[in-house]
Chain A
Amino acid sequence: TQLLEQSPQFLSIQEGENLTVYCNSSSVFSSLQWYRQEPGEGPVLLVTVVTGGEVKKLKRLTFQFGDARKDSSLHITAAQPGDTGLYLCAGYANTGNQFYFGTGTSLTVIP
């Protein structure tokens, strides 16, 4: 198991605020994914980052993969109530096809 620590664990903010979620590990990953999970559902993929230093934007969400491919961040601009959910990073091991999930960040955006 390759441990991925996410911070913060819980985050409650007002609509319109910005936030950043971090995903850190001591292991190197060949790629990293971010998922969002809503209550009663399974995780749904938001983005995959592959190259160290890569930055991807998805509307108000910005994802960055660390240069050493050990960490990643998710930045949300002008958060909306619809962004509420559990955000999970998942690292793709260099050997094998397994994905290991981070500890998760539960985000609540208050209208």
Chain B
Amino acid sequence: DAGVIQSPRHEVTEMGQEVTLRCKPISGHNSLFWYRQTMMRGLELLIYFNNNVPIDDSGMPEDRFSAKMPNASFSTLKIQPSEPRDSAVYFCASRLDSWVVRGTEAFFGQGTRLTVV
């Protein structure tokens, strides 16, 4: 398997523009996570999907942020409108969860470095 694939790797956009980040999880994994990483705040959990359903979106900072998972092999994180303070590295991670085995390994993509100017 190629692992978790994120695109684009780098994105530079102007304030006010819409930004869409994409993630392809590892095939067969049923949980997907979006994280944001900054020097000041570290790795923050934004949203968590299980079986394509959003389970916990309490980490989504504002209504400008939205995430979707239309099927088991694709997820998007959208920021509209973008602001300079959204500049960060955004990671997607996937994992195989079950009620029997918990705390399994999460596999991360290489991240998308977003710069909003």
Spell out A's residues near B (CB within 8 Å): 1, 30-31, 33, 40-45, 48, 50, 88, 90, 92, 96-104
Spell out B's residues near A (CB within 8 Å): 4, 31, 33, 35, 42-45, 48, 50, 55-56, 58-59, 91, 93, 95, 97, 102-111
B102 touches A97 (CB 8 A): yes
**Binding site secondary structure of chain B:** strand
A99 touches B105 (CB 8 A): no
A31 touches B102 (CB 8 A): yes
A42 touches B110 (CB 8 A): yes
Q: Which residues of chain A are near B107, meaning CB under 8 Å?
A: 42
A30 to B91, CA, bound (A): 24
Q: Which residues of chain A are near B106, meaning CB under 8 Å?
A: 33, 45, 90, 99
A40 and B43 contact, Cβ closer than 8 Å, known pairs A31-B102, A97-B31: no
